[in-house]
A and B are shown apart, each in its own frame.
Chain A
């Protein structure tokens, strides 16, 4: 690698990182506005023009708040848990293709890395996210946090299987583990058409993996107070929030990439990269809106319903779907 290759790589990494550091703030505001509208109230409307500066004010408040550590906690693990929460969520973004290749003196792909095992890397990072939850829940030495962490680990391990089965069906159609190849394989037909069942399974599993309503048992605010991060305050608490939004965005991006053709769509000649990024972001925002919509409209699962739904309904469907996909692929080739 020469100097320019390093420079391009570092620029890409910084760009993706900044997307999060800044991107989470307008998303929080948007969620609160949408939730407010759906519940017939205003939502934030005091700070700045119609409440636009609300998250900035909240961020400032979190920044100057005291960082409390419970007396009987396991300090090292407690300190490290928020980092462990954010790290996999950010690392998985390395493989997401934001747009097509651009010619600027040299060919630059609008992604950080084209791994030949890309989609498996995403699954691996997704399965690491649970460590942040388990470590924070265990080290806090609090019953609420402990219960939240227990629930979360069981839930994430179970729904990971559903997600894996849905992804496998896509891999069978695309014939590659690289996300770039998967997007290119959807040039003619988006995978949502042959893999509608896989798409639905993946979306359900994605909501469960991000611990969002109606799968928000690990942090159920009405019974567990806030679940695994109940003892955290200040910037450490903000890390949990950032990780949640990073994960939601990541899941939206992966759904768009796997099933909706990623950055593919109608293009204006000469502006392929720009339109590509536009289509990709548009598809992502549809799913982000879906996350907010679910939170405003759906009641929470009961724990036995959650487990039965996964093991007795989703996983059998996923296995049958995989078998059918493999059979069709064999018949065609």
Chain B
């Protein structure tokens, strides 16, 4: 994840440098990039899950800063509000519920790490080759919204709205329906069966008490 992140950051910096090159932007970029990657590394090696979550917040902040440099204010704010303000807070909420202080001391590394390391190196090389080694490719990666188009539309927020609600309306709505279905599914799975509803769920009535196994009847109901 870190490597892919670094590659994309380097690529963006090249795009940016070809547009405007001034001292403030360069200093801000290098600070944000180094801090983001550093905090990403901390997130991976921290033995305490809460420290990992806090490092993740620091990464999100600095990536939001990178968005600001790129002139994408809406993305920067959305990044902070959604990822830092909602998702990582829920991680922390869960960690606090479980009261996890430390992970086990022995290091847990998966067997497939021997496959993962070469693949990661390959990805890093590809990233560097695409962004540094081939100027013609990186010049062609301008996206559908080069700066001129964005300023014609009136800003990055407007550009995003135009793309989201004209060209990609159907995928956008599809994603919304998918998320709603997932939410309803989670509610159904987690729902506790009340005593007066047991007639509707005969499995619960003949098994152990519904309070001890709240999820089971609802699980079978949804599986049919």
Contact (Cβ within 8 A) B57 A138? no
Question: What is the 8 Å Cβ interface bit string for chain A, positions 242-285, against chain B (1 contact, 0 not)?
Answer: 00000000000000000000000000000000000000000000
Contact (Cβ within 8 A) B157 A77? no
Expressed in whole angstroms, the minimum distance between the Cβ of A40 and any Cβ of chain B is 41
Question: What is the 8 Å Cβ interface bit string for chain B, positions 78-100, against chain A (1 contact, 0 not)?
Answer: 10110011100110110111010
Expressed in whole angstroms, the minimum distance between the Cβ of A106 and any Cβ of chain B is 21
Q: Is A146 an interface residue (CB 8 A)?
A: yes
Q: Is A131 an interface residue (CB 8 A)?
A: yes
Expressed in whole angstroms, the minimum distance between the Cβ of B100 and any Cβ of chain A is 10
- Label chain B's interface by main secondary structure: helix
Number of A-B contacts (CB under 8 A): 73
In the complex the two chains form, what is the Cα distance from A121 to B75 in whole Å?
11
Q: Is B77 an interface residue (CB 8 A)?
A: yes
Question: What is the 8 Å Cβ interface bit string for chain B, positions 49-76, against chain A (1 contact, 0 not)?
Answer: 0110010010000000000000001101
**In-complex Cβ contact of A116 among B51, B85, B86, B155 (8 A):** B155
Contact (Cβ within 8 A) B74 A157? no
Given A117-B73, A117-B157, verify A134-B96 contact (CB < 8 Å): yes
In the complex the two chains form, what is the Cα distance from A288 to B90 in whole Å?
31
On chain A, the residues within 8 Å of B51 by CB distance are: 77
Given A77-B54, A115-B73, A117-B157, verify A138-B92 contact (CB < 8 Å): yes
Q: Is A231 an interface residue (CB 8 A)?
A: no
Q: Interface residue count for A (Cβ, 8 Å)?
A: 27
**In-complex Cβ contact of A154 among B54, B74, B93 (8 A):** B93
Expressed in whole angstroms, the minimum distance between the Cβ of A177 and any Cβ of chain B is 6
**In-complex Cβ contact of A127 among B73, B86, B92, B157 (8 A):** B86
Contact (Cβ within 8 A) A120 B93? no
**In-complex Cβ contact of B74 among A120, A138, A150 (8 A):** A120
In the complex the two chains form, what is the Cα distance from A48 to B51 in whole Å?
47
Contact (Cβ within 8 A) B157 A116? yes
Expressed in whole angstroms, the minimum distance between the Cβ of A277 and any Cβ of chain B is 27
Q: Is A123 an interface residue (CB 8 A)?
A: yes
Contact (Cβ within 8 A) A121 B85? no
Contact (Cβ within 8 A) A128 B92? no
On chain A, the residues within 8 Å of B73 by CB distance are: 115-117
Question: What is the 8 Å Cβ interface bit string for chain A, positions 143-162, against chain B (1 contact, 0 not)?
Answer: 00010011001100100100
Residues of A80-121 whose CB lies within 8 A of B: 115-117, 120-121
Known: A117-B157, A127-B81, A128-B85. 4 other contacts (CB 8 A): A134-B93, A138-B50, A153-B89, A154-B93
Task: Give the top 7 A-B pairs by smallest Cβ distance, nearest first.
Answer: A127-B85, A124-B81, A124-B80, A120-B77, A117-B73, A153-B93, A124-B77
Q: Hey, which bits of chain A sit against chain B, CB under 8 A?
A: 74, 77, 115-117, 120-121, 123-128, 130-131, 134-135, 137-138, 146, 149-150, 153-154, 157, 160, 177
